[in-house]
Amino acid sequence: MSNKITACPPGEALDFSVLLSATRRGARLARLMTVAELSARGLPTESAALVVAELAANAALHGAVPGRSFRLRVSLHETALLRVEVTDARGERAPVAGPRQPPGADSEAGRGLVLVEALAERWGVRHGPVPCKTVWADIALAPRAESTGSRPAATRSPTAPTP
């Protein structure tokens, strides 16, 4: 695991990337670092924290390869969309939206990408460089306009190309 984080100072465009161990601890650190970066800039954290937690947990659970880490990248430039990217070493294991089998009422698994789909404006998978894949999500940091009816619903697709 690398503790080196590349980030911009508060008030500037947000763009940070960090390499973390593909473990539950690494997934937790991904969430905590994201919340810290957003909080330092006075930005909302709730949706981003949940999306990062799910994508990082998936990288640790489904994308882990012994001795390999996952990379978290979070960026926000001139738009109100926060881009979250999690890259792992299991490019052959692309995520699928929704549960493969309906989870039981008490199940704690099988809902992660459903949650990502609900919170993100759009999300998808970018393959490469071999053997890696990157699962990305764009999150609106402003309140969703759907509640006011001022814009059409966002498109969400697990295979949509990245902008």
Question: Is 10 a domain residue?
Answer: yes
CATH number at residue 9: 3.30.565.10
**Given this model, what pLDDT does residue 23 score?**
92
Q: Are 62 and 69 in contact (CB under 8 A)?
A: no
Classify residue 90: in a domain, yes or no: yes
> How do the pLDDT tens digits run along the chain, 163 residues long?
444 444 455 556 789 999 999 999 999 999 999 999 999 999 999 999 999 999 999 999 887 777 789 999 999 977 789 999 999 987 677 776 555 566 666 666 667 788 899 999 999 999 888 788 999 999 998 755 444 444 344 444 455 444 4
pLDDT score, position 31: 97
In the DSSP assignment, the letter for residue 19 is E
CB atoms closer than 10 angstroms to residue 49: 18
47 in any annotated domain: yes
Q: What is the pLDDT of residue 132?
A: 86
Among left, alpha and beta (phi > 0; psi -120 to 50; other), residue 42 is left
- Please report the pLDDT score of residue 96 as a whole number: 65
Q: Is residue 153 part of a domain?
A: no
Q: Is residue 127 part of a domain?
A: yes
pLDDT at 97: 59
- Report if residue 163 sits inside a domain: no
**Which residue range forms the structural domain that includes residue 19?**
5-147
How much is the pTM?
Answer: 0.74
Q: Is residue 32 part of a domain?
A: yes
**Structure confidence at residue 156 (pLDDT):** 47
115 assigned to some structural domain:
yes
Rounded CA gap, 69 and 108, in Å? 25
- Per the structure, how many domains does the chain have? 1
